[in-house]
Chains A and B, each alone.
Chain A
Amino acid sequence: MLTVSVKWQKKVFEGIEIDPTLPPYVFKAQLYDLTGVPPERQKIMVKGGLLKDDADWSAIGVKDGQKLMMMGTADEIVKAPEKAIVFAEDLPEEEQATHLGYSAGLVNLGNTCYMNSTVQCLKSVPELKSALSNYALTGRSNDVDQTSHMLTVATRELFGDLDRSVNAVSPTQFWMTLRKKFPQFSQLQNGMHMQQDAEECWTQLLYTLSQSLKAPASSEDSDAVKALFGVNLRSRVHCQESGEESSETESVYSLKCHISHEVNHLHEGLKHGLKGELEKTSPALGRTALYLKESLIDSLPSYLTVQFVRFFWKRETNQKAKILRKVDYPLELDIFDLCSEDLRKKLEAPRQKLRDEEGKKLGLQPKSSSKDSDVKMTDAEASSNESGESSTVTQQEGASSEKGTLHMTGIYDLVSVLTHKGRSADSGHYVAWVKQESGKWIQYDDSHPSLQREEDITKLSGGGDWHMAYIIMYKARLVSM
């Protein structure tokens, strides 16, 4: 008979007797009584290994008074969860994309950043996307030429690819059709495609889309692109010499922000851009005379595009030179004072409503207890969210007739910025900065999207060699009445 002590967890069981004639299984049964660990789960460490159930005690060489160590628990054995866990890495690419919260970048096909950034900016307009998806594959109306049709289809496909993919998309098809439609983009230099002006690309693309997206009914109203981006200007043309005065209206897709020495802010630039001088034959004087043209906005678009006129043709160097002047732009733009009298009247009521809503948000805060205001605030947010959602819904339906519920306020929020870095329009680098629905800003530098902070977006205003805004796009803030 041997007496040993067994250490189990932090406990030591002294004076356990072993009968060397019986197999170790008996010993384990003894320990089962003491510890509650079933024999098959007991691991008893003896010199050089574990004690086997059928081992011979004499071969193991356990000495009297030896300390043995036992390991084992009566715990439940871990089981794998019934439902296997799905890991992000296992998901197909598309689903991974949705988890990132933003879409993929575009591969640079050789100086195509002007195109990539334009596409990324335009893609951020959901209404344009839905209009494109409504564009029938085959349903080309007769008044749209073949290349325009192809470009439209290519745009739609590209937007779709971008939404589905995680990795950067190569816009080869789109680029081919773009060059087919607009041969000027195929210019070569040293065997390479040249850098192009993003503004030209932007304008041409929008124009093409507007042509092909005109509903087959071909009524003015159903021009989806125009409804989204078109700005109606009413201009008063006035000749100081003769005192002649005429008025004309025109529709443009973007406002120009002229940059001169006095312009420090977008607002000043816009005002500047709406005033112009032109020479034309004066019927009264019978010769060419200087006319002053002053324009005012007559109708507001859902998306207001502003182009900074940063490039001008420099004769001496024979290239488009760039104005580096810093021109600040706000995240929230109010263009009320650029509007015509008629429009202002229309805007007044919705603006008042908007002010009231904001006042309510701010005004409540100091008065009531914090908890209370929190609730109110979330309420207010919820309501504004709702209105925001409904606005997109109605917009998606493409009907401008429902404006009875939603009204323009003349206040716009910045949604995308197309920047240029470099010294001339045909060189340097174009990058798109787009605000996502989640409120995050993403910089699309060709194939590399990256998160940016909102305060960094306003720093793209120029004045150095950093990226500077070239085309910016604002989204109208609507208010429901």
Chain B
Amino acid sequence: MAPVPDPNNVGGGGGAKRDEATMKVPSKDPKKKDDKKEDDLSEEDLELKQNLELYVERVQDPNPELQKAALESMRQEIRASTSSMTSVPKPLKFLRPHYGTLKEFHQNMAESDLKKLLADILSVLALTMSAEGKRESLGYRLTGSGGDIGSWGHEYVRNLAGEIAEEYTMRQSEEASVEDLMDLVKQIVAFHMKHNAETEAVDLLMDVEDLDLLLAHVDRTNFRRTCNYLTSSAKFLAGPDDMLVLDIAYMIYIKFEEYPNALQIALFLDNMQYVKQIFTSCTDLLRKKQFCYMISRHGITVEIDPEMVADKDDRDMLQDIVNNTKLSEGYLTLARDIEVMEAKTPEDIYKAHLLDGRASSGPSVDSARQNLAATFVNAFVNAGFGQDKLMTVPSDAASGIAGNWLFKNKEHGKTSAAASLGMILLWDVDAGLTQLDKYFHSSDNPVLAGALLGVGINNCGIKSDCDPALALLGEYIDNEDSSVRIGAIMGLGIAYAGSQNDQIRSSLSPILNDAKAPLDVIAFAALSLGMIYVGSCNEEVAQSIIFALMDRSEAQLGDALTRFLPLGLGLLYLGKQESVEATAEVSKTFNEKIRKYCDMTLLSCAYAGTGNVLKVQDLLAQCGEHLEKGDIHQGPAVLGLAMVAMSEELGLDMAIRSLERVLQYGEQNIRRAVPLALGLLCISNPKVNVMDTLSRLSHDTDSEVAMSAIISLGLIGAGTNNARIAGMLRNLSSYYYKDASLLFCVRIAQGFVHMGKGLLTLSPFHSERLLLSPTALAGIVTLLHACLDMKSIILGKYHYVLYFLVLAMQPRMMLTVDENLKPISVPVRVGQAVDVVGQAGRPKTITGFQTHSTPVLLAAGERAELATDKYIPLSPILEGFIILKENPDYRDEE
């Protein structure tokens, strides 16, 4: 704007005389310049310029007829040119010098249609002329004739929308009426929605806090992109706006009968009312089956009631799907297809022959520690396959080592060994109970405890009318042997995680407040209750745990297992944000030894998966303190950082960077937690930079840092068979071959990496990273909290806490089934997912894809799409079980 000394000053206020003086300058000055420039202009342009100048003069003519004609012509010129906005359109350019003149004139005009017409033109001119923050374009628009907003072009509308947002916030603070603005908003939204600018419409509506308007304007062509934008922007909004946005998205999906997406959002909102509504509004049974598959993946308990499905047989079938009874079958189908049914031994995983010299010659005597590690590796690697080479070998082959593997474990090790059978037969309840039965008759308490735990693991995520787990475990809850009690309690916690089963609560709650119960039993009871009531905010359970915490003596508060009490409490509020506040208040009255720990745990659990930046800052501030004494609350703070930030990619990357910082400046207790936090952030998603960091830390001089780094290496590679991590761990196994504790960790990590022979994932996120399974997160978080004191828990006699991971174990598959739920094989393209939110047109959603036939494995960040038109998937999110319907329009090429 250099040559023009801001014409905005003109006519802005009342100083008319001064205006006159300055006014001449702009009218003269540019002319001089233009004279020089005139040579450069083409004849056409020159003519246009002269015409426009003429119009400007005529507008100021006293004759209204002339005025009108001039305004009309000017309007024509402008409209004709605003279609393209690559550069400032010629008419606007030539009218620039006259903006001030026209403004002045407009101000002095009497109210008339002509004045409105002029206001329209001024509004457009203000697009390029108006100074920042003046919102002149909007001002003139409001006084103008209010014709079709789109006729002035896209850029104009966009600019107007921006000004409205500003104006709106200003008026809000002044509590002025916004009605006139809202009329305009409606016009703009309608225009945007029609012109593929859904994102702008949504932005504007969010600014003016009236998203409901959207419902009226979405149609079949644009609702998908609108909802896409809504759901992904929800991640960055502060509460309660995010809920509002998702609500709108839900309503739009319902409006267009896009039920799978609606269900996704209902699950995200944890709104059972919505879930029910989806079932009642959808009439297609097949689609309902697909919904049930989605619910079962999320791991929540939903009763299909007669309102949702009328027919009893149909209801039973749907309930079966929700109860996950088909999971084992589907998983084995995948395994057979990929040809990994052959059981693997721990040695197949260790691959000691690839290491030169060192440790290759195994010790001649069994080491209990190493056998225990082998038990876990065997359990994780063969999880769900129903066969292995240590535990399920028929007993008549007991002559060799195999049959007696159980007794190759020492004391409490036998618990984990017996329970591993439940893991091997994961999800296959019938076979699992049959195999575990023999241990129920053992007189050896650790074996019995293992059998109980095994039942719990076996039933993880599977519900049944007969409630076998409850029936079997219930009577051992009050056994006199505390190891058996723990086995039963933990088994129930795993089997009924998220079920909010009242019967279990009434039997577990008394333990918490039983003065005679040993601390470990109380700790596991609190944990199990936390799991069963995860994210429920159940008052009564919270009360019991709070009392249990208050009853603990000073010495007990120092025990490593006491950490499970606050954790159990925290799990009740997992992801429930503000709901935790009352309990957090109460926790301030706790003994100071546990107070801060409790505070951090509650905070981190309540905001887990929300990506709340403020909470991340709070937690970071906690980590920044340098404590003198042995305070332990910074560990959960670091973990909390990861829990809060893990939901969304950008926040996740930031958290990884912050953790690097914390690692460098933090005290030892923080450094020990950082690897675990990294492990949580990238669980089953081996990012190379995190892998490198962890690899570095795995050689740390502080053995606890090294241990957590090693475990985390396992976690980030869990179920991926990642060759690089496998190699790192193999080298670590030779590096630490002499340190039994570290070697144990390495072995466990190796088991993680090859979990389910690479068919499983631990990621609590599913449905394209939108949904967070609360039970899965609960399982992982529990393990990580246990890892904060590795020596007394996992390396001590409570190693079976490793089995809490079973809550997060899910096949990372896409399995297509036909209308009778029988697996069918169809070609699919699998590739890296591309973020298409807010992109115009119909962009490709995957890149670098390969074509496979189902069932296929999906790695972290991958997405699948059908490569055939023969079938129509019943859910747009191709993960887990997908029901395919034949496409009626499909014509065979031949």
Once the chains bind, are B430 and A88 in contact (CB under 8 Å)?
Answer: no
B410's nearest neighbour on chain A, judged by CB, is A87
Number of interface residues of B (CB under 8 A): 45
Residues of B within 8 A of A47 (CB): 466-467
Task: Please determine whether B366 and A88 come into contact, CB atoms closer than 8 angstroms.
Answer: yes
Q: Which of A48, A80, A89 contacts B470 (CB 8 A)?
A: A48
CB distance from A91 to the nearest CB of B (A): 7
Q: Shortest beta-carbon distance, A130 to chain B, in Å?
A: 26
- Does A45 have its Cβ within 8 Å of any Cβ on chain B? yes
Do A48 and B357 touch (CB < 8 A)? no
Closest Cβ–Cβ distance, residue A60 to chain B (whole Å): 12
State the Cβ distance, B473 to closest chain A Cβ, in Å: 10
* A315 within 8 Å of B (CB atoms): no
Interface Cβ pair total, 8 Å cutoff: 104
Beyond A48-B467, A87-B410, is A77–B438 a contact (Cβ under 8 Å)?
yes
| Contact of A450 with B by CB under 8 A | yes
Residues in A neighbouring B404, C-beta threshold 8 A: 81
A104 to chain B, nearest CB (A): 11
Q: Which of B207-215, B439-447, B885-893 contacts A (4 or more CB under 8 A)?
A: B439-447
B360 to chain A, nearest CB (A): 10
Q: Are B365 and A87 in contact, CB atoms less than 8 angstroms apart?
A: yes
Segment at the B interface, from A65-73, A247-255, A378-386 = A65-73
Q: Is B699 interfacial (CB-CB < 8 Å)?
A: no
Q: Can you list, as one digit per residue, whether each of B410-435 has a CB less than 8 Å from chain A (1) or not (0)?
A: 10000000000000000000110110
- Of A77, A87, A100, the contact of B441 (CB 8 Å cutoff): A77
Question: Which residue of chain B lies nearest to A40 when distances are taken between CB atoms in the complex?
Answer: B441
CB of B427 to closest CB in A, whole Å? 14
- Chain A residues in 8 Å Cβ range of B366: 85-88
Over the window 319-334 of chain B, the binary record of Cβ atoms lying under 8 Å from chain A Cβ atoms (1 yes, 0 no) is 0000000000000000
Q: Given B369, B468, B470, B475, which contacts A71 in the complex, CB threshold below 8 Å?
A: B468
The smallest beta-carbon distance between B651 and chain A, in angstroms, is 42
A-chain residues with CB within 8 Å of residue B408 when the two chains form the complex: 85
B406 closest partner in A (C-beta): A78
Residue of chain B at shortest CB distance from A455: B356
Q: Which residue of A lies closest to B358 (CB)?
A: A451
Asked whether, in the complex, the Cβ of B363 is within 8 Å of the Cβ of A88, the reply is yes
Q: Are A75 and B358 also in contact (CB < 8 A) when A48-B467, A48-B474, A85-B366 are? A: no
What are the residues of chain B within 8 A of A88 when measuring CB–CB? 363, 365-368
Q: Assess whether A78 is in contact with B447, with CB atoms less than 8 Å apart.
A: yes
> When the two chains form their complex, are residues B464 and A69 in contact, meaning their CB atoms are under 8 A apart?
yes
Let me know if B256 is at the binding interface, CB within 8 A: no
Contact A75 B438 (CB under 8 A): yes
B407 at interface by CB-CB < 8 Å: yes
Give A73 to B406 CA distance when docked, in angstroms: 19
Complex alpha-carbon distance, A70 and B441, angstroms: 16
Contact of A80 among B440, B444, B475 (CB under 8 A): B444
B437 contacts the other chain (CB 8 A): yes
CB within 8 Å for A453 and B356 given contacts A48-B470, A99-B364: yes
Report the separation of the CA atoms of residues A49 and B464 in the bound assembly, to the nearest whole angstrom: 13
B382-415 Cβ-contact flags toward A at 8 Å (1 or 0)? 0000000000000100000000101110100000
A76 at the interface (CB under 8 A from B): yes
CB distance from A230 to the nearest CB of B (A): 34
Measured between alpha carbons, how far is A465 from B196 in the docked complex, in Å?
A: 67
A440 at the interface (CB under 8 A from B): yes
Q: Tell me, yes or no, whether B220 is within 8 Å of chain A by CB.
A: no
Pick the contact of B365: A10, A48, A99 (CB < 8 A): A99
Central interface residue in A41, A67, A87, A91, by most chain B CB within 10 Å: A87
B-side contacts of A72, CB under 8 Å:
437
* B356 contact set on A, CB distance < 8 A: 453
Residues of B with C-beta under 8 A to A89:
367-369, 410
Complexed CA–CA distance, A100 and B441 (Å): 39
| Distance of A49 Cα from B433 Cα, bound (Å) | 15
In whole angstroms, how far apart are the Cα atoms of A128 and B224 in the complex? 86
- Can you name the residue of chain A whose Cβ is closest to the Cβ of B468? A45
Which residues of chain A are within 8 angstroms of B206 by Cβ–Cβ distance? none
Is B357 a contact partner of A453 (Cβ separation < 8 A)? Answer: yes
- Max count, chain B CB within 10 A of own CB: residue among A10, A48, A50, A78: A78
Whether a CB of chain B sits under 8 angstroms from the CB of A131 is no
Q: Are B437 and A41 in contact (CB under 8 A)?
A: yes
Compute how far the CA of A454 lies from the CA of B358 in the bound complex, rounded to whole angstroms: 11
**A77 to B470 Cα, complex, angstroms:** 23
A67 to B447, CA, bound (A): 30
Q: Which residues of B contact A265 (CB under 8 A)?
A: none
User: A415: shortest Cβ distance to chain B, in Å?
Assistant: 17
Q: Is the CB of A43 within 8 A of B471?
A: yes
Q: Say yes or no: A49 contacts B474, CB within 8 Å.
A: yes
Q: Are B472 and A50 in contact (CB under 8 A)?
A: yes
Q: Is B738 engaged at the interface, CB distance under 8 Å to the other chain?
A: yes
Are B475 and A50 neighbours in the complex by a CB distance under 8 Å? yes
Given A71-B433, A78-B439, A87-B367, A45 contacting B410 (CB threshold 8 A): no
Quote the shortest CB–CB distance from B704 to chain A (angstroms). 19
In whole Å, how far is B335's beta carbon from the nearest beta carbon of chain A?
18
A100: shortest Cβ distance to chain B, in Å? 8
0/1 string, B349-379, CB within 8 A of A gives 1:
0000000111101011111110100000000
Q: Is B179 an interface residue (CB 8 A)?
A: no
Q: Is B307 interfacial (CB-CB < 8 Å)? A: no
Q: Which of A375-421 contact B (CB under 8 A)?
A: none
Contact (Cβ within 8 A) A451 B737: yes
Contacts A/B (CB < 8 Å), 10 sampled: A9-B431, A9-B434, A45-B466, A45-B467, A48-B467, A48-B470, A73-B434, A87-B366, A89-B367, A453-B356
What 7 pairs across the A-B complex have the smallest Cβ distances? A69-B466, A45-B471, A87-B368, A88-B367, A45-B466, A71-B433, A77-B441
